[in-house]
Amino acid sequence: MSMLLVAQANWEDERGHSSEKHCWMDRRLRINHIEELLMARVKEFWAKVNFYGGIRKRCLASEKRKSPVGS
């Protein structure tokens, strides 16, 4: 999260400040954008977890079928 704050501070330094209303609107839009980026990363992460988890389960199931009964 600290990287996001640094990026936000740098962005604000580059932009400067216009009027109070515009700053508030810009900040809200920026927060929405950051939230969208974070949610996209979270969805991507869980998609990978589910994908590789499914592969692992299939491999474990096939290993069980291959092992002789009673061992």
Per-residue model confidence as pLDDT tens digits over 6-25: 566 655 555 555 555 667 77
At residue 36, the pLDDT reads 94
At residue 46, the pLDDT reads 93
* Token pair 């996001």 in the structure block, residue: 4
**CA 48/CA 57 separation, integer angstroms:** 14
At residue 4, the pLDDT reads 62
Is the pLDDT higher at 5 or at 44?
44
Does residue 8 sit in helix, strand or coil?
helix
Three-state secondary structure readout of the chain: CHHHHHHHHHHHHHHCCCCHHHHHHHHHHHHHHHHHHHHHHHHHHHHHHHHHHHHHHHHHHHHHHHCCCCC
